[in-house]
Amino acid sequence: MISPVHQVLREGTRDRHETLDQGLALASGDVDRAGYLNYLRALLGWLEPLEQRLWQLDWPEGLQAPARAGKSAWLRADLADAGQAAPVPRCADVPSLAAADAYALGVAYVVEGSQLGGRFLARRLQDVAPALPLRYLQGYGEQVGPLWKGFLQYLDSEAGAQGREAHALQGARDAFDSLTAWLRSRHALRA
């Protein structure tokens, strides 16, 4: 069952999510090593500055922020495994985060939700291109379900209880818009 706040975010970002999914060559299985590594570099350039702020906010212990804060390290490990040690450009236009509030939860919704899609992509890429480093896409591994469920429960209890669904939705939309624009600018997303 989808929680009320999750439903608001899912419906309110559906078009953005579809634009992102349809623009990724990875999702169609049309992938080569250079394109995949470019995608990882671009994603790292967006995620790292965002993640450094997002999971340093004053979240309650139950949200498990430290467990959620390592996605940039997974991307760096994949790039290192592929022999890609060069610095990556960093996105300066990530959503602004000042507090552990509904807006930040909306941003986190996009970051955490990517873990669900990542597992699907990892399975697909293992079949078509088994030599690619997939640590980031494998994400939380077997913990993806429990961590996602825990995140959605917190999202619903905080944003829903405060009547701040619209604020959370704006955070999610801003995150999708920022990510999409950045990936396009780095030639990691088709127009």
Region 18-33: mean pLDDT is: 81
Place of tokens 């379900």: 145
DSSP output for 6-27? HHHHHHHHHHHHHHHHHH-HHH
Q: Quick check: 28 pLDDT over 70?
A: no
Q: Which fold has domain 4-185?
A: Heme Oxygenase; Chain A (1.20.910)
Q: Quick check: 41 pLDDT over 90?
A: yes
Do residues 189 and 181 touch, judged by C-beta distance below 8 A? Answer: no
Report the SS3 class of residue 41: helix
Residues 6+ apart with CB under 8 A from 153: 3
Q: What is the pLDDT of residue 120?
A: 84
Do residues 144 and 7 touch, judged by C-beta distance below 8 A? Answer: no
Do residues 140 and 147 touch, judged by C-beta distance below 8 A? Answer: yes
Region 119-143: mean pLDDT is: 88
CB neighbours of residue 127 within 10 Å: 8
Render pLDDT for 145-182 as a digit per residue (tens, 0 to 9).
999 999 999 999 998 777 899 999 999 999 999 999 99
Region 3-23: mean pLDDT is: 94
pTM > 0.85: yes
Render pLDDT for 70-129 as a digit per residue (tens, 0 to 9).
999 999 999 999 999 899 999 999 999 999 999 999 999 999 999 998 888 888 888 877
In the chain, where are the structural domains located?
A: 4-185
| Comparison of pLDDT for 190 and 106, the residue scoring more | 106
